[in-house]
Amino acid sequence: MTRPTPRAVFLFALAVPLALPVATGWPQVWFFALYWPGAVLALMAADLVMTPPGHRLRAEVNAPGRLYVGRPGEVTARLSVGGSTRPLPVEALLEQSGEAEAPVPVAGATAGGRLELRLTVRPLRRGLLRIEALWLRWRGPLGLIERGRRQPLDLALEVVPDVRGLPEAALRFFAQDAAYGQKSQRFKGEGAEFDNLTDYAPGRDSRFIDWKHSARHRKLLCKEFRQERNHQIVLAFDTGHLMLEPVEGLSKLDRTIKAGLLLAWASLYNGDLVGGCGFDARFRHFLQPGRGLPYFRHFQRFTAGLSYQTEETNFTLGLAELGSRLKRRALVILFTEFVDTISAELLLESLGLLTRRHLVIFVTMRDPLLARLTETPPDDFARVARAVIADDFARERAVVLERVARLGVHCLDTPAPALSAALLNRYLLIKQRGLL
């Protein structure tokens, strides 16, 4: 594909205002007005000759085997121009299909007939992202002629949840309490397994004082308990249409998956069993709880397969099916979303049945849009109306969360950036107090 550049079009169009004075003032020499467009056409022809044709520009494209949702990846294009060492300005653009940010063209100039361009790809959803072709565009040394070429690629890149840095993030939490080291240790806490007796110190809970042994040894002694292990941790993901809402460029479902992966790694490292499920209008995914860090790969594949659905979530069916598949008491972490008190009625009823046998953490993400609308200065009536409506939604949300907490459910309603840390802290608190 060859075409003139905007510079060539401008220079050629400049012949019209230059020809008008000649044609009106000196009509006998009107043919002088043709010299300018003729000179432009001659320069364009010379630039065309000096511009390398498409078959001399070769491109080798290297793409990563997988991409992480919400994280930019790089596709490398190595270009070489045969038979030319003159610097050649080249611009490259990827043709892609799938849920990803719009591609941005990358430009550069060859040096010694070679050039390496790094094109950024940022997927917004899990699944497959296809790179259909690579578009190349280059200009001649005069900038009057532009050539282009489409090189088919047909690359399929797998987009998976972002797991980079999860072990390091989890270990930072554990290192604060110095609970984990190279040797096997006993984990002190408020669990149900008795560990030993220790001297009473100011600040200890007086309920743990062992009065019988204190009277025998004539000093106050406290009981210490050991944190229990081998608990079942089940992460339940709501995959309905409300979880498709984007928060800071990433869907709520993908943000909860990232927080769930961090918690799964920490739980497996802690000796617990981790499983998961996904449901919306029907129960779609289930992973039987397993133990050991190698099991984290199974959980990662499970979260990668959680599909995006546009149907409304059926909490009655989903939570009832989950409860029937769990044969022993477990910590169920429900990642979901609701709109108002009316849509949350069935959710509350199902949670009440689930909490009779299991311990539940109810996890939602605080919408930053509501905070921005309520904090906007009331400069006009429209902003006041939006602020009042947003405040009503926030009030109804607080009512639902209060009703959920009354059922004995642990509630987490945090901003998206703080979700992972808040969830991991709540898990460690539950383990320390032995609530399971």
Confidence of residue 194 (pLDDT cuts 50, 70, 90): low
Going by C-alpha positions, the residue among 300, 159, 303, 309 that lies closest to residue 244 is 309
Confidence of residue 184 (pLDDT cuts 50, 70, 90): very low
For residues 43 and 39, what is the distance between their CA atoms, to the nearest angstrom?
6
Tokens of 57: 């520009």
Q: Band the pLDDT of 354: cuts 50, 70, 90.
A: very high
Q: What whole-number percentage of the chain has pLDDT above 70?
A: 87
> What is the predicted pLDDT for the residue at 93?
92
Q: Which residue has the higher pLDDT, 179 or 404?
A: 404
Comparing 326-335, 364-373, 393-402, the range with the smallest average pLDDT is: 364-373
Q: Locate tokens 């990642």: which residue? A: 335
Q: Is 8 helix (H, G, I), strand (E, B) or coil?
A: helix
Do 223 and 215 meet the contact criterion of CB atoms below 8 Å apart? no
Task: Give the integer Cα–Cα distance in Å for 346 and 349.
Answer: 5
pLDDT on residue 58 = 87
- pLDDT for 170 equals 62
Q: Is the pLDDT of residue 116 over 80?
A: yes
Which pLDDT score is estimated for 182? 39
**Residues 350-358: what's their mean pLDDT?**
91
Instruction: Give the span between the Cα atoms of 59 and 343, in whole angstroms.
Output: 54
The per-residue pLDDT for 40 is: 82
Residue 250: pLDDT band by 50, 70, 90 thresholds? Answer: confident
Phi, psi (degrees; rounded to nearest 5) at 216: -70, -40
Residue 265 near residue 166, CB atoms below 8 Å: yes
**Least confident among 28-32, 186-190, 240-244:** 186-190
Q: What is the mean pLDDT of residues 66-71?
A: 86
pLDDT of res. 318? 92
User: Which of these ranges, 3-12, 109-118, 163-172, 222-231, has the smallest mean pLDDT?
Assistant: 163-172
pLDDT beyond 50 at 14: yes
Share of the chain above pLDDT 90, in %: 27
Outline where 270-314 has alpha helix (H): 296-304
* Mean pLDDT across the chain: 83
Distance CA 194, CA 175 (A): 24
pLDDT at 223: 78
Structure tokens at 125: 């959803």
What pLDDT was estimated at residue 409? 92
Reduced to 3 states (helix: H, G, I; strand: E, B; else coil), residue 205 is: coil
Highest mean pLDDT among 170-174, 261-265, 344-348: 261-265
Give me the count of residues in the chain. 436
More confident residue, 407 or 187: 407
**Can you tell me the mean pLDDT for 248-254?**
87
pLDDT at position 121: 92
Query: Does position 34 have pLDDT exceeding 80, yes or no?
Result: no
Reading the block at residue 158, the tokens are: 């797998």
pLDDT greater than 60 at residue 185: no
Which pLDDT band, with edges at 50, 70 and 90, does 136 fall under? very high
C-alpha to C-alpha distance for 271 and 266, rounded to whole angstroms: 9
Interatomic CA distance for residues 411 and 336, integer angstroms:
11
Instruction: Please state, in angstroms and rounded to a whole number, the distance separating the CA atoms of residues 163 and 161.
Output: 6
